[in-house]
């Protein structure tokens, strides 16, 4: 059985994962109307879907452990970006916030000696390591490319290949 504090903290994470899904959906929709960014568009649509799965997993876990998984309200995310680089900077910024939040949850699970939740959270710890690595890699690529059009063309063409394996 989850403590009240743990259930509340997990529900906060449900909200953050939902916000991630919304944020990446907005990035996908923005990319979709830019010329020639089909790869980036697909990437963010997929990221958005994955974040929804992360949210669901948490929600179900809260219910399984005797809490109540609360469906959060939707806030409108940032809708437009000055450049592709700015969108990917937001992506990294967001992932760093999520990592910090997962770390806080792990800390709470240990403090409460809730080893089941600690075990459950390990999937998120690994996931965040991968997401952060991906976001950093993509930002580094864009830094190198700068305004070079052929570089951006290749970035868009190859973006799925940077994802690597083991995506959740
Ligand atoms: Fe939910 O994995 Fe990133 O944010």
pLDDT one-digit tens code per residue, 8-49? 999 999 999 999 999 999 999 999 999 999 999 999 999 999
Q: Which atom of ligand 1 is nearest to the CA of 127?
A: 2
How do residues 87-142 score in pLDDT, each as one tens digit?
999 999 999 999 999 999 999 999 999 999 999 999 999 999 999 999 999 999 99
Return the pLDDT at 167: 42
Q: Which atom of ligand 1 is nearest to the CA of 54?
A: 1
Phi and psi angles of residue 147, each rounded to the nearest 5 degrees, phi first: -95, 5
Cα 90 to ligand 1 centre (Å): 13
pTM to 2 decimal places: 0.94
Cα 47 to ligand 1 centre (Å): 8
Query: Contact, 66 vs 2, CB < 8 A?
Result: yes
Q: What is the CATH number of domain 4-69+81-166?
A: 1.20.1260.10
Greater confidence (70 vs 165) lies with 70
Domain boundaries, the chain: 4-69+81-166
Cα 131 to ligand 1 centre (Å): 7
Query: What tokens were used for 160?
Result: 């799925």
């Amino acid at each position: 059985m989850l403590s009240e504090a743990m259930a509340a903290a997990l529900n906060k994470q449900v909200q953050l994962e939902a916000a991630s899904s919304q944020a990446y959906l907005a990035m996908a929709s923005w990319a979709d109307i830019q010329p020639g960014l089909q790869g980036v568009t697909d990437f963010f649509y997929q990221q958005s879907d994955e974040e929804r799965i992360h949210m669901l997993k948490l929600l179900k876990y809260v219910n399984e452990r005797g809490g109540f998984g609360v469906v959060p309200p939707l806030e409108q995310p940032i809708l437009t970006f000055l450049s592709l680089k700015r969108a990917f900077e937001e992506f990294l910024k967001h992932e760093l916030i999520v990592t910090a939040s997962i770390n806080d949850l792990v800390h709470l699970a240990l403090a409460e000696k809730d080893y089941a939740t600690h075990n459950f959270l390990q999937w998120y710890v690994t996931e965040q390591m991968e997401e952060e690595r991906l976001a950093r890699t993509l930002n580094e690529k864009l830094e190198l490319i700068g305004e070079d059009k052929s570089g951006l063309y290749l970035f868009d063409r190859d973006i799925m290949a940077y994802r690597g394996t083991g995506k959740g």
